[in-house]
Structure 1
Amino acid sequence: MPHPSALHQETELLLSVSQGDERAFTAIYNHYHQRLGTHIYRITKSTELAEEVVHDVFLKIWLNRETLVNVENFPVYLYVISKNAALNCLKRAAREKALTTELDADFDQISLPGTPEDDYRYILIDEAIDRLPPQQRQAYLLARHERLSYMEVAQRMNLSKETVKKYLQIATGFISEYIIKRLIISTLIVLQYSF
């Protein structure tokens, strides 16, 4: 149980944060960010996602700082919003992964004469990657082929992590669409010659 004076000091800090005091915010951040990161890591099982969620949670707290005066138990408040943020982050990551899995499933369901499926898959992926704008292509290749994290790609390309994430989302969507369209065309050709 925290000492009463520590609770009083935290209440004063939160009041200062609600009034826009950046030093008070830094003090709250320094006090909680590591524990919060550990808590979120238990949910996400990913250091990168945990860092991202901690950053997002504290950004949200700062942007909504006026509401802190209504918070009675800050640690509980912090853990609840961070848990929700972590679960949302996992859902987003699952949706991104589902796109790739969906592509694999599409390939598994179709066999094309004269071309081994795996070869055809890589041909289509390469074609789609070649059609991406240069920045998106570079981000995609660094993330998917070199297995770099968002942060590493951002540093390598001198971009923000958010921009890298956006590039990867757009690139993945384009590649999916391109491959599905090509699969439909190939399927129609196969059907045409089988009658």
Structure 2
Amino acid sequence: MMKNGTNTEDGLLLKALGLGDMKAFDVIFNKYFQKMKRFLCGFLDSEEEAEDLSQDIFVKLWQNRTVLKDVDNLNAYLYRVAKNTVYSYFERTLKIETSIDLLSDTPTTESLEEILFANELEELIDLTVEQMPTQRKAIFIMSRKEGVKNHEIADRLNISVRTVETHISAALNDIRKVLSLLLLFF
């Protein structure tokens, strides 16, 4: 292992890539492309779009190759680029506005990392909810964000309690799927 989680092979590949070695780029591409594509498929309805965005990630990797010597963990770096790519995609297509809350206290580095991870996780869940079918999204928001009970949701929407439960279960499965894809990177 090299510094902070980059294995020796990835470290050598990053150094070679930083020097413009096309073979190193090919090895990295072959090793990580499908992983990136699967991760992005968890957010997108289109496998073709996920493939296009995955290719964009590797274009950015090539364009930024000279600064990769500072990367401690290639897997985490690619995850970060993938996350930013999917955010940009949703921002362009859904006009999502992201706001950042200022922290009132100066947290420790460890608590700051936990806060950032929790915020990123919440953003990923929110993006997943935004992609849900209209009724499932509405039911999930009423249930989990507004705290409305299942029988009240059923009354409001003039549907059965069982239908409400089915939508909540499907929404949670969608979120679990995204979270399991996220865990591939850790």
Which of the pair is proportionally richer in helix? 1
Q: State the TM-score, normalizing by the size of structure 1.
A: 0.44
Structure with the bigger RCO (C-alpha within 8 Å, sep 6+) is: 2
Looking at CA atoms only, which structure, 1 or 2, has the larger radius of gyration? Answer: 1
Q: State the TM-score, normalizing by the size of structure 2.
A: 0.46
